[in-house]
Amino acid sequence: MGTSTQAYGEPWYWDNRYSSESGSFDWYQKYPSLAPLINLYIPRHVHPRILVVGCGNSAFSEGMVSDGYEDVVNIDISSVILDMDVRDMSEFQSGSFDAVIDKGTLDSILCGNDSRNNAPKMLKEVWRVLKDNGVYILVTYGAPVYRLQLLRDSCSWRIKLHVIDKLLSEEGSEHPIQELTNPVPIDDSGSSVEAVLGKNPDVHYIYVCTKDESLKPE
């Protein structure tokens, strides 16, 4: 299991996987489950330009287009899919996207070799390609005690936290652990989340990180 998990950070793993897979596969959550949150932070009426990193063979972007988003760009490190490394998106100009969506890409990089350097590289590139006040929506298994410091150390973000049940169906859950569109209060360390959600909740964490250039140190 350890070897397989570490391979998630390597391009060859994804090349092999996508070459042998038929059909689409969505990591963590499908678009209909996340749509209320996407609609909240990326309003369609402003005609946003959206970048989906680590798109793989997911149907997520197709779902966004069907939901009225007109300008969705996909990238993936696998040459079988698109062949662009999220750590170096120099083909994109700075400040060229209103939103970046990440379902598991940062997690994959954190599983791979040299993650201590590669994860900040990725986050800095995401920050660079976003417009000021653009949003980076990160869907991850990483709890705040493991993700907040990484996000804050990498770039100047305003961060809100949301959660969604891991086993949530497209029809929704009658009793979700927390309403998707209601932010979870977080303190500086992230330890306050346990008081709201309990210990080891079976959720995916969604960090809505707003680029704020005014927070950059002089």
- In this predicted model, what pLDDT tens digit does every residue of 65-97 receive, in sequence order? 999 999 999 987 644 334 578 899 999 999 999
DSSP state of 93: P
Residue 8: pLDDT over 70: no
Give 37-89 as a DSSP string: HHHHHS-GGG--EEEEET-TT-SHHHHHHHTT--EEEEE-S-TTTT---TT--
What confidence score (pLDDT) does residue 53 get? Answer: 92
Using left for φ > 0, alpha for ψ between -120 and 50, and beta otherwise, residue 28 falls in left
**Residue closest to 140 by CA, chosen among 211, 204, 65:** 204
Residues 5, 67: contact at Cβ < 8 Å?
Answer: no
DSSP state of 216: S
| Helix, strand, coil percentages, rounded to 5, for the chain | 35, 20, 45
What is the average pLDDT across 55-64? 84
Confidence of residue 123 (pLDDT cuts 50, 70, 90): very high
Confidence of residue 10 (pLDDT cuts 50, 70, 90): low
Residues 168, 135: contact at Cβ < 8 Å?
Answer: no
User: Helix or strand or coil: residue 141?
Assistant: coil
Neighbouring C-beta atoms of residue 53, cutoff 10 Å: 26
Neighbouring C-beta atoms of residue 195, cutoff 10 Å: 11
- In this predicted model, what pLDDT tens digit does every residue of 195-208 receive, in sequence order? 899 988 999 999 99
Confidence of residue 127 (pLDDT cuts 50, 70, 90): very high
The pair of structure tokens assigned to 9 is 């950070």
- pTM over the 0.95 mark: no
Confidence of residue 19 (pLDDT cuts 50, 70, 90): low
The pair of structure tokens assigned to 168 is 């949530």
Q: Average per-residue pLDDT in the chain?
A: 84
